[in-house]
Amino acid sequence: MAFVITQSCCSDAACVSVCPVNCIHPTPEERGFGTSDILHIDPEACIDCGACADACPVNAIYPADRLSDRDKIFIEINANYYRDNPDISSGWTDVVYPEIPRLPRDLRVAIVGTGPSGGYALRTVLGRTDARVTVFDKLPTPGGLVRAGVAPDHPSTKDVMKSFDLLYRDPRVTMATNVEIGPDPARGQITPAELSEHFDAVFYAVGASQARSLGIPGEDLPGSMSATDLVAWYNAVPGAQGPQIPTDGSGRAVVVGTGNVALDVARILVSPPELLATTDIADRALDLLHRQNIHEVVVLGRRGQDSAAYTGAEYRALSVLDGVDVVVHDDPAADPSQWGLDRPASPDRRRIVFLFHTSPQEASASPDGLLDTVTVTTGENRHPISTDLLIRSIGYRSSPIGGLPFDDAAGHFPTTDEGRLTDADGAVIPGAYVLGWAARGSTGGIGANKLHAVATVESFIADAAQGLPRATAEPEAFGELLDRRQRKAVGYRGIAAIDRRERERGAEQGRPRVKFTEVGDMLSAAGRRRR
């Protein structure tokens, strides 16, 4: 019985490299990698060895005869990939070994950011060089968007962090979380110039955490917010502010955008609170969702359903929500009165309504100053939709870091295709590299970011072999600087202590973990187990 890849696939491609018969596609070298919903196992070529399942970091691969009823559809999805792509072939392949150049001794590397891009860069640096690596994160807990962005009801996707945790324990790695990189030493920040002084190479894997705006009147009303802020709030990111949802409102939320994050938000808002209570969703969110009255989420797409940005796997996840109807309106000439949105959402059922060919034009407030209406256009028609919440999910930008060049128009750092940071004139800045969304913009998932991280580290290796400028400070000097600048830096033992305490709190409630939402609480849990 062949193995099957299911919805939680992160396209990490660890399975590709261990498959002895090359029956998992698309590979990183093939078209579609990074944009395909999932990877696919060729059922005709699979030899049932199970190596792929052992290598999968998110537990997405199972024998076909062990699939749940919900996942049996993926037997056909895997097989159809090979039916629809007859030029993709499986079979035994030759092993290709990477070139190992001679590198300088005692290289020192810094990685800023602990999301997937930073984790894969760390793995590649450790595997391909003898460098010592210091890893930074501005929060005490590592994980980046795996911790702060993955929906709480998708726990298997977060399992990718288990493989990174093994790297953090490596004797060549120093963890320094609760440390911010920026232009202001007076605020305890370490500057990019100081990193360049103390490290031979610096990799910036800082993601894209700023939301793009709609640019419509009323966008800043209470009750209107970005998906970035909402996701950070329900994922327990310290400092994230929650939505203002009236308990006597319309019972409806409007989400602008059709990407995977938009669908995550819609699913979380209409999911039964008792289901969410078994996840690691923030207590503050769980409490509000117990009290709130959101029964319906309207998802707006400017173009047709065939242009929607979500993956098929995310859309399929909506169809299996118990007690939730999914309704799709994809006719650009439809009469808005047929949408059934002229009245409050029905309290006796939950549903997600997709309105394609529809754009928001303005938001307006009730007499008490809270958002209560979003006016949309479809074709020549304008139509008001009563709503308690307006969430924009139309793309993301990176945040500039003082002291580094930044492309404000593009919303990310300027780089070459190989990940080398460039200045305003396009000249490469030696020893500075940018990974993932911070370099490419907010496109592609974990697999695409892994591919970019590995390629960027290979650029560094080539540069180091040819002669990068070396760090000018003595090796022990950075630890002294960090102790002076940020006395509350947290090392691996402190990170492990926070993780252990969150899991203990979760076990008390029958949940995987209960996250801390305040930095002070995290530092208390870390105790004296810091660097």
The enclosing domain of 285 has a CATH number of: 3.50.50.60
When mean pLDDT is compared across 138-147, 193-202, 286-295, 408-417, the lowest value belongs to 286-295
Average pLDDT, the chain: 91
Beta carbons within 8 Å of 14's beta carbon, 6+ residues apart: 55, 56, 57
Q: What percent of the chain has pLDDT over 90?
A: 71
User: Do residue 356 and residue 284 come from a single domain?
Assistant: yes
- Judged against a pLDDT cut of 80, whether residue 248 lies above it is answered with no
Q: Could you tell me the CATH number of the domain that includes residue 12?
A: 3.30.70.20
User: Do residue 374 and residue 300 come from a single domain?
Assistant: yes
- Judged against a pLDDT cut of 80, whether residue 347 lies above it is answered with no
Counted domains in the chain: 3
- Judged against a pLDDT cut of 90, whether residue 145 lies above it is answered with no
Report yes or no on 505 lying in a domain. no
User: Do residue 243 and residue 374 come from a single domain?
Assistant: yes
- Tell the burial category of 29 from Cβ atoms under 10 Å away from its Cβ (0-12, 13-18, 19+): exposed
Report yes or no on 118 lying in a domain. yes
User: Do residue 346 and residue 476 come from a single domain?
Assistant: no
Report yes or no on 168 lying in a domain. yes
Cα 172 to Cα 55, 196, 321, 464, 483, distances in angstroms: 24, 19, 45, 18, 19
User: Do residue 63 and residue 141 come from a single domain?
Assistant: no
User: Do residue 388 and residue 405 come from a single domain?
Assistant: no
- Judged against a pLDDT cut of 90, whether residue 247 lies above it is answered with no
Report yes or no on 186 lying in a domain. yes
Q: What's the mean pLDDT in 373-401?
A: 93
The domain boundary, picked from 392, 416, 446, lies at 392
User: Do residue 283 and residue 380 come from a single domain?
Assistant: yes
Give the side-chain half-sphere CA count within 13 A for 29.
Answer: 4
Closest to 174 (Cα-Cα) out of 470, 482, 520, 385: 482
- Judged against a pLDDT cut of 80, whether residue 300 lies above it is answered with yes
Predicted pLDDT of residue 530: 47
User: Do residue 131 and residue 196 come from a single domain?
Assistant: yes
- Judged against a pLDDT cut of 50, whether residue 531 lies above it is answered with no
Predicted pLDDT of residue 491: 96
Q: What's the mean pLDDT in 458-485?
A: 95
Given pLDDT bands bounded at 50, 70 and 90, which one contains residue 339?
confident
CA–CA distance, 510 with 505 (Å, rounded to integer): 9
The domain boundary, picked from 51, 84, 117, lies at 84
Given pLDDT bands bounded at 50, 70 and 90, which one contains residue 521?
very high
Report yes or no on 38 lying in a domain. yes
Secondary structure of 81-149 in HEC code, one letter for each residue: HHHHCCCCCCCCCCCCCCCCCCCCCCCEEEEECCCHHHHHHHHHHHHHCCCEEEEEECCCCCCCHHHHC
* Domain with 357 in it: 213-224+237-392
Predicted pLDDT of residue 495: 97
Q: Could you tell me the CATH number of the domain that includes residue 406?
A: 3.40.50.720
User: Do residue 195 and residue 248 come from a single domain?
Assistant: no
The predicted model scores a pTM of: 0.91
When mean pLDDT is compared across 57-71, 128-142, 238-252, the lowest value belongs to 238-252
Identify the residue with better confidence: 333 or 263.
Answer: 263
- Judged against a pLDDT cut of 60, whether residue 264 lies above it is answered with yes
Predicted pLDDT of residue 448: 87
The domain boundary, picked from 370, 392, 414, lies at 392
Buried b (16+ CB within 10 A) or exposed e, 356-393: bbbebeebeeeeeebbbbbbbebeeeebbbbbbbbbbb
Beta carbons within 8 Å of 55's beta carbon, 6+ residues apart: 14, 15, 17, 18
Given pLDDT bands bounded at 50, 70 and 90, which one contains residue 341?
confident
